[in-house]
A and B are shown apart, each in its own frame.
Chain A
Amino acid sequence: MKQFFTFVRKEFYHVFRDRKTLLLLFGLPITQIILFGFALTNEIKNAKIVVADYAKDVASQQIINKIEASKYFDIDRSLMSHEQLEAAFREGKIKMAVVFPENFNEDLVHLNKAQIQVIADAADINTATTLTGYVTNIINDYQTQMKNSQAMPMRIVPEVRMYYNPQLRGEHTFIPGMMAMIMMLVCVMMTAISIVREKELGTMEVLLVSPFKPFMVILSKFVPYLIISMVNITSILLLSWFFLDLPVKGNILLFYLESLLFIITSLSLGLLISIKSESQQTAMFVSLMATMLPTMLLSGFMFPIENMPIPLQVISNAVPSKWFYVIVRSVMIKGAGFSAIWKETLILFGMTVFLLVVSLRNFKIRLA
């Protein structure tokens, strides 16, 4: 046991004496959160839109007022013809146009049905969806109000409500995604590199010719990165709580336990990579390929998995961060309990066991 602690202490020396690694380990999560939390939101503020009100009646005015009141739009009220609108879109002057036809209120009152034309610049598909989302929300909101106040006859209103994220806040998807990515990156890459470094420097050779069990070498590599990852998780949580106003809604203990599981999954993946690679460069490259890309593309945090072709959907199941992303979203944002995420937990657990078994079977007690 004393040997083990000495080994762990040695690992900490390695981490703390290498300024660059240290900066990467603790700086990366903070920079990422700040970047993604503040700078790179998919939220759109003050988008230039045109409202062409051909109706000029009560209902249209009320809706326009509502749109104007929101901080998302910068409204230009002008009666543009369709040709003019098209020109404005082409020149990139406006992002969206809302057109009220004549007799808007009349139609609404008499026919119980009226139309608003919403045109968005879909060249920028993200902005377009977001903006139309905002407007549809505002219109729906207005309809609900009308229903209550005027006792209008029952009619089917498509109720589009944005669950958990009514304002479509970017942080709600980014924080869980970033968490998964940072944990993976730190754990996989750091473990892989630190084990391969011992091989490359030749210290592994000396360690093998000692009574110290090879497996203990691995285990003592896990401990420092596990602790560092826990610190990182905490700093991410604190950042998102204080700066992004996004506390953990669910059970914090459950959250930490799930994170611990995911960290161990990542460490095992790092171990497997380290066993298979001979140089630090290879280890780093493979780690990046195995963590960054799949986490960005296939975990569902940047691109919805449901929209992907079937083969990609199947592949995405093998990405551990996908499951952790679901878990974090459930526990942190929705406040769900264990019963909602037991399936994901089980999958992560299975992956960990699999990775560990494969690693241990391939672990070399000799040089070749």
Chain B
Amino acid sequence: MGAVRLNHITKTYNNKSVVAVDDVSFEVQPGELFGLIGPDGAGKTSIFRMLTTLLLPDTGEATVDGYDIVKDYKMIRSRVGYMPGKFSLYQDLTVEENLRFFATVFDTTIEANYELIKDIYIQIEPFKERRAGKLSGGMKQKLALSCALIHKPTVLFLDEPTTGVDAVSRKEFWDMLKRLKMQGITVLVSTPYMDEATLCDRIALIQSGKILSIDTPRAIVNAYGEQIYALRASNMYRLLNDLRASEYVKSCYAFGEYLHTTLKQDNETTRNELMMQLRSRQHEQLEMKPTEAGIEDCFIKLLVQPV
């Protein structure tokens, strides 16, 4: 039985005029690190709030740890850990007071579950006398995670925990999640960052309340099925326009310092002809190399041609 199971869940707002979650079903296995990947407004937070019993679904049913999210909400509330997207601790309480408060609210003590949070808490312990409002973004998230973990939850819901956090802290945060997984805690995490997707066991790509694809990051990438070429030139904007206008090109999107391009017919001849075409348009420092598809490529492809 799955640790979390959603069965045709739909959630609307404003008298059904806004569909936030549209007929979503998926299952998360115990001990799994599961990622909900999607842009802002995709419906991630709504799914999390329904699973943490904060919102009622319009239709469909879901269970967390075997408990129904509507009927058994009290049971779920005492078992799960939840970290909302917005920093939700008391800014005028110190680090230690916050942790102690949430420990008591969950009827436990810091000492009883110190082992679980030790790795995380040890990094913010030097600042334990500091008010939570005065912490940096990364430290705030570490404190919030400590507070969400203090009662040793069976399932942990983390809503965009790394949004607004620096790159180093983000990496540390994901290392922590990996360690939690080893403790047997099921972790559901949502993020708008595609690069974090590969760190999950399985991911669900979500857009406009609909699940586009659910699989392991590897399988999703493998399912891309086409060769991507990364192109670069001195004038990127002109290159993008020229590529999109070219009869050989199927799709072309900007990805960091390269343009990810797929071809209508991928063979030696078309590649050479494309290069010739580009050179004839006086592109300087032109470069083209095959590259592996990333989650973001898959996401865009799924958006353009839905499954």
List A residues at the B interface (Cβ < 8 Å): 2-3, 6-7, 10, 13-14, 17-18, 201-203, 205-212, 365-368
Residues of chain A contacted by B77 (CB below 8 angstroms): 208-211
B104 within 8 A of A: yes
A210 contacts across to B, CB distance below 8 A: 77-78, 102, 105-106
Contact A13 B82 (CB under 8 A): no
B54, B82, B107 interface centre (most CB from chain A within 10 Å) = B54
Give B contacts to A, CB under 8 Å.
Answer: 49, 52-56, 73-74, 77-78, 80, 82-84, 86-93, 97, 100-102, 104-107, 147-148
A125 to chain B, nearest CB (A): 49
B97 cross-chain contacts in A, Cβ below 8 A: 10, 13
Nearest chain A CB to B74's CB is how many angstroms away? Answer: 8
6 A-B residue pairs with Cβ-Cβ distance under 8 Å, sorted by A, are A2-B104, A202-B86, A210-B77, A366-B53, A366-B55, A366-B56
When chains A and B are docked, how far (Å) is the Cα of A10 from the Cα of B97?
A: 8
Closest Cβ of chain A to B18, distance in Å, is 13
Q: In whole angstroms, what is the CA distance A206 to B104 when docked?
A: 13
CB distance from A219 to the nearest CB of B (A): 14
**Which A residues lie within 8 Å of B106 (CB)?**
210-212
> Given the known A-B contacts A18-B92, A201-B88, A202-B88, are A209 and B107 also in contact in the complex, defined by CB atoms under 8 Å?
no
Q: Which 10 A-B pairs have the closest CB atoms?
A: A202-B88, A211-B78, A6-B104, A209-B82, A367-B54, A202-B86, A17-B92, A212-B105, A209-B52, A206-B88
Contact partners of A17 in chain B: CB under 8 A: 92
Instruction: Report the Cα distance A205→B82, complex, angstroms.
Output: 9
Partner of B80, one of A10, A202, A209, A365: A209
Q: Which chain B residues lie closer than 8 Å to A202 at the CB level?
A: 84, 86-88
Of listed A201, A205, A212, residue having the most chain B CB within 10 A: A205
Contact of A211 among B52, B53, B56, B107 (CB under 8 A): B107
Q: A2-B104, A10-B93, A211-B78 are in contact. Are A205 and B88 (CB under 8 A)?
A: yes
Task: Check A205 against B104 for contact (C-beta < 8 Å).
Answer: no
A10 / chain B contacts, CB cutoff of 8 Å: 90, 93, 97, 101
Identify the closest chain B residue to A15 (Cβ).
Answer: B92
Other-chain contact of A13, B78, B93, B104 (Cβ < 8 Å): B93
A209 to chain B: which residues have CB within 8 Å? Answer: 52-54, 77, 80, 82
B148 partner residues in chain A, CB cutoff 8 A: 206
In the docked arrangement, what's the CA distance between A10 and B83, Å? 20
Residue in B closest to A364 when the chains form the complex, CB atoms: B54
Interfacial chain B residues near A201, Cβ < 8 Å = 86, 88, 90-91
Q: CB-nearest residue of chain B relative to A14?
A: B92
Residues of B within 8 A of A13 (CB): 90, 92-93, 97
